[in-house]
Amino acid sequence: MCGIVGYIGPRNAAEIILDGLRRLEYRGYDSAGIAVIENGGIEVRRDVGKLSNLAHRLAEAPVMGQVGVGHTRWATHGKPSERNAHPHFDAERKLVVVQNGIVENYRRLRQELLAQGHRFASETDTEVIVHLVEAYLDEGHDLEGAVRLALGRIEGAHAIVVLSSREPDRLIVARLGNAGGVTVGLGEGENFVASDIPAILDHTQRVIHLDSREMAVITYDAVHFLD
């Protein structure tokens, strides 16, 4: 089941995310990663093993930004490795996706995307999601629309967060079926997302759980819920 923590607000996102992921360690994982919007781009750090390894990487090469997402992975498709750890990038490194769950039809989607010229950097089922979103963005959809269309193509149970440096003021989150919960935490001028309440309880007690087939667009001072 593993974990997801996301943050948007005035504080150092990496610190809040890492602390939140530590509070989800009980769910088990084999690798971890984080993406933060920094200077108009997306910085990613990933490592196998314990969160202390990721923390070490972050100490060596810090990421400073106010919007980010972190993930602990329990590998189902592709061995535990840095390359397979989430977040996963699109070709232009302007978009990242993290997922808990399994994309059951990923083989078919991967073939389709390969035929369209997409290149894959990992062995995971998850990477098809970021390429699908990229394909819909290239067709001219905005991030929310592209994510919605991509979610309509994948089969299985998922908790997903998408972050883009083209629309750096938002996190798009979604729950399809049951692959761990998706909890949105409401703050003052800051908002949170997590797979489970303990990850964000220090910051807010105002939480809303997504039902299956619900999405949320989380900005600094608002959350829009969609089905």
Residues of this chain that bind ligand GLU (CB under 6 A): 2, 73-78, 99-102, 124-126
Amino acid letter, 111: Q
Q: How many residues does the chain have?
A: 227
Smallest separation, CB 2 to ligand GLU (Å): 4
Select 2 or 154, whichever has its Cβ closest to ligand GLU.
2
Specify whether the CB–CB gap between 63 and 45 falls below 8 A: yes
Smallest separation, CB 51 to ligand GLU (Å): 14
Q: Which residues contact 215 (CB under 8 A, 6 or more apart)?
A: 144, 147, 148, 151, 172, 173, 174, 175, 225, 226, 227
Please give the helix or strand (H or E) that residue 131 lies within, else none.
helix 127-138
Select 79 or 213, whichever has its Cβ closest to ligand GLU.
79
Smallest separation, CB 83 to ligand GLU (Å): 11
Select 77 or 141, whichever has its Cβ closest to ligand GLU.
77
Smallest separation, CB 106 to ligand GLU (Å): 9
Pairwise CA distance, residues 14 & 46, whole Å:
12
How far lies 96's CA from each of 131, 163, 167, 189, 203, in Å? Answer: 10, 5, 12, 23, 25
Select 104 or 139, whichever has its Cβ closest to ligand GLU.
104
Smallest separation, CB 44 to ligand GLU (Å): 15
Select 12 or 25, whichever has its Cβ closest to ligand GLU.
25
User: What is the residue whose two structure tokens read 């490592």?
Assistant: 47
